[in-house]
Amino acid sequence: MFQQLRLYEHPLLDFSARGKGEAVEVIIKFKNPDIPVHTYYFELHPRDLDHPQFEWTFQRQLFDCLHDYLIEMFTRTPQNRVERQREGM
């Protein structure tokens, strides 16, 4: 698993992993500490790690999590109705 993460490099994000019981917890962290964004975590279970196509299933899961992480970084969306009304938008 840890070798697999070394294959990924990103200008804005750092990737790491640690054991969590029988699972592995993957950690995605924003590189710029001056911007206060949360760290994203997801788990890979033994069945995921043992999958015969692990390299590809991991990439799909990582990319799905990156999508979720970036979406969670929005500080405003059209769904923030109360804020929009308060600011006259």
The pLDDT profile of the chain, 89 residues, written as one tens digit per residue, is: 778 899 999 999 999 999 999 999 999 999 998 999 999 999 999 999 999 999 999 999 999 999 999 999 998 887 777 776 777 76
Percent helix, percent strand, percent coil in the chain, to nearest 5? 35, 25, 40
Predicted structure pTM score: 0.82
* Best CA proximity match to 31, nearest among 16, 10, 14: 14
Separation between Cα atoms, residue 56 and residue 61, nearest integer Å: 9
Which residue pairs from 72-76 have beta carbons closer than 8 angstroms and sit at least 24 positions apart in sequence?
72/38, 72/40, 73/37
